[in-house]
């Protein structure tokens, strides 16, 4: 008898849980959406994307959830609409128990700013992908200008920008990366009226180390305004051009 009662109670509990799940699920689906909230997770550091801008984008696509029942709202379509903004890295859209629709968004993270003679201005993000600039916000990253192709930006320049990010002293010291024909690179320093010629970006850590030594034993002795160009492209030597 006790075993029978135990089985009966267990069946009733399971039945109630199943009923409750369906009941509350159907109740939620019939809720009217009276709130569409967009949360930009990393907005304290980066402000490429604003919540109101995302709401307007969703509205322009005919997907504004306000005033609709939850069962009428396709959260996947809203997510895809949000991801059409190329400054957005990821988006998660879901309904809450009270019928609100929440969109959690993260923004793409730029590593390098490119101003190309042929392809215009854009960023390269931390996944080595091209991303647009924004009229709302600009971020402090290394700037490369000149004859820059997209593949060179995504590979060699990306690696160099990451090196600068990992070495703050160099990052603070270099104002601009200038790319010439055949992907030859010059650097514009923040201090001194001269250019640093790297040549190709092969073995750039050693070239920069050579320049650092030259600063200590050369520029600090003869003065920072003596040369117009300091060439590090040659092995085991620094070639300087006087003004």
Would you state the pLDDT for residue 54? 96
Does position 173 have pLDDT exceeding 80, yes or no?
yes
Q: Could you tell me the pLDDT band of residue 72, with boundaries at 50, 70 and 90?
A: confident
Q: Which of 142, 139, 171 is nearest to 46 (CA)?
A: 139
Q: Could you tell me the pLDDT band of residue 4, with boundaries at 50, 70 and 90?
A: very low
Does position 159 have pLDDT exceeding 50, yes or no?
yes
Mean pLDDT over 145-164 rounds to 96
Judged by DSSP in three states, 118 sits in coil
Would you state the pLDDT for residue 101? 93
Would you state the pLDDT for residue 220? 61
Judged by DSSP in three states, 235 sits in coil
Would you state the pLDDT for residue 200? 93
Helices H / strands E in the chain, number of each? 8, 12
Task: State the average pLDDT for the chain.
Answer: 85
């Amino acid at each position: 008898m006790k075993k029978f009662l135990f089985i009966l109670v267990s069946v009733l509990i399971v039945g109630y849980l199943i009923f409750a799940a369906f009941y509350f699920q159907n109740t939620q689906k019939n809720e009217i959406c009276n709130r569409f909230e967009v949360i930009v997770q990393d907005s304290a550091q980066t402000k490429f994307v604003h919540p109101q801008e995302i709401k307007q984008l969703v509205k322009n696509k005919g997907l504004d959830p306000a005033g609709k029942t939850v069962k009428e709202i396709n959260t996947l379509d809203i997510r895809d609409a949000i991801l059409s903004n190329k400054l957005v890295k990821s988006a998660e859209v879901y309904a809450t128990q009270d019928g609100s629709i929440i969109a959690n968004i993260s923004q793409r993270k730029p590593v390098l700013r490119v101003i190309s003679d042929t392809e215009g201005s854009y960023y390269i993000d931390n996944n080595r992908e091209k991303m647009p600039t924004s009229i709302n916000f600009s971020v402090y990253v290394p700037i490369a200008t000149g004859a820059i192709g997209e593949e060179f930006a995504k590979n060699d320049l990306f690696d160099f920008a990451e090196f600068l990010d990992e070495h703050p002293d160099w990052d603070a010291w270099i104002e601009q990366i200038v790319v010439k024909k055949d992907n030859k690179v010059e650097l514009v320093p923040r201090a001194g009226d001269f250019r640093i010629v790297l040549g190709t970006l092969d073995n750039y850590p050693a070239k920069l180390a050579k320049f650092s030594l030259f600063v200590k034993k050369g520029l600090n002795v003869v003065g920072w305004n003596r040369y117009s160009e300091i060439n590090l492209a040659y092995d085991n030597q620094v070639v300087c051009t006087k003004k």
